[in-house]
Amino acid sequence: MWRTRTRGVPGEGNPSASIVLIGEGPGRQEDETGRPFVGRAGRLLDELLAHAGLRRADVYITNVIKDRAATATTPRRDRPPAPAEVAACLPWLRAQLALIRPRIVVTLGRHSLEVMLPGARIAGVHGRPQHRGALTILPLYHPSYALRNPGARPVLFRDAAALRGLVDERPRG
């Protein structure tokens, strides 16, 4: 993994939150600040949360990988995490979930979806809550995807609205 800083981006938010959002991995601005989702994708994520009636303070936000995935030859461009990077970071994500014990996990993009629901395809499950015992997983497209593909933006907002209903639901199990 090529790094611009060494502290990593573990995640931030309310450690007692009933909702955890999981992105892919920090980008350049996140790497520089040590905070998740503070760049353009983060601003869109804030809008999505507001659309669902939530604020950052209500949730915990983290990523599948905790360090920026870029390459020395293209330092301005992020790349998808390699399987070995995901595997190396997975114990940390699992520990975060075990400590926070959320009722709802929102996956942002296909990498976090693969971690939470191996084999699921985002095109088939986005916006549709998946119940696993007491845990509900809401798969969403990644905000960066909607920034690259403006046509996906309304879909993302519609899917995020499902979160509002889930928050109001009685705990399962």
Residues that bind ligand URA (CB under 6 A): 23-27, 30, 36-37, 41-42, 63, 144
Nearer to ligand URA, 37 or 141 (CB): 37
- Least distance (Å) from ligand URA to the CB of residue 63? 5
Terminal alpha carbon distance of the chain: 40
Supply 107's token pair. 């996956």
Supply 16's token pair. 């007692």
Nearer to ligand URA, 7 or 172 (CB): 7
- Least distance (Å) from ligand URA to the CB of residue 16? 21
Chain residue at closest Cβ approach to ligand URA: 23
- Least distance (Å) from ligand URA to the CB of residue 27? 5
Q: CA 75 to CA 61: how far, in whole Å? A: 24
Q: What is the DSSP string of 72-123?
A: TTEEEEE-PPPHHHHHHHHHHHHHHHHHH--SEEEEESHHHHHHHSTT--HH
Nearer to ligand URA, 26 or 170 (CB): 26
Nearer to ligand URA, 8 or 27 (CB): 27
Angle made by CA atoms 165, 170, 173, in degrees to the nearest 5: 125
- Least distance (Å) from ligand URA to the CB of residue 30? 4
- Least distance (Å) from ligand URA to the CB of residue 117? 17
Angle made by CA atoms 113, 37, 88, in degrees to the nearest 5: 50
Supply 95's token pair. 């520990």
Nearer to ligand URA, 63 or 96 (CB): 63
